[in-house]
């Protein structure tokens, strides 16, 4: 993350908040490598076993919000 980075826990709380504006805001602060990592992780959250249904739903909302960028 670039200078002025938010703590990691706050970043993921924002990213999984289901608030599209907030999701896009925190995602836009990342560099390209970080963006790719986050997108891949969100996709894994949707498809891999071991995630709670609420986490899967939050990941889906985040991915939909980020499709609009």
Residues with Cβ within 8 Å of residue 65, at least 6 apart in sequence:
20, 23, 24
37: domain range? Answer: 8-67
DSSP state of 7: P
**From first to last of its 69 residues, what are the pLDDT tens digits of the chain?**
455 667 889 999 999 999 999 999 999 999 999 999 999 999 999 999 999 999 999 999 999 999 988
- Kindly give the residue spans of alpha helices, DSSP state H, lying in the chain: 8-15, 20-27, 32-47, 53-67
Count of structural domains within the chain: 1
| 13 in a structural domain | yes
Enter the tokens of residue 37. Answer: 């990592």
State pTM to two decimals.
0.87
| 1 in a structural domain | no
| 44 in a structural domain | yes
Strand, helix or coil for residue 12: helix
| 2 in a structural domain | no
| 60 in a structural domain | yes
């Amino acid at each position: 993350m670039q200078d002025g980075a938010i703590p990691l826990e706050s970043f993921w709380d924002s990213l999984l908040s289901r608030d599209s504006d907030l999701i896009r805001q925190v995602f836009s602060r990342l560099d390209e490598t970080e963006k790719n990592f986050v997108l891949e992780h969100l996709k894994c959250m949707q498809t891999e076993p071991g995630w709670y249904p609420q986490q899967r739903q939050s990941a889906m909302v985040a991915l939909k919000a980020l499709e609009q960028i």
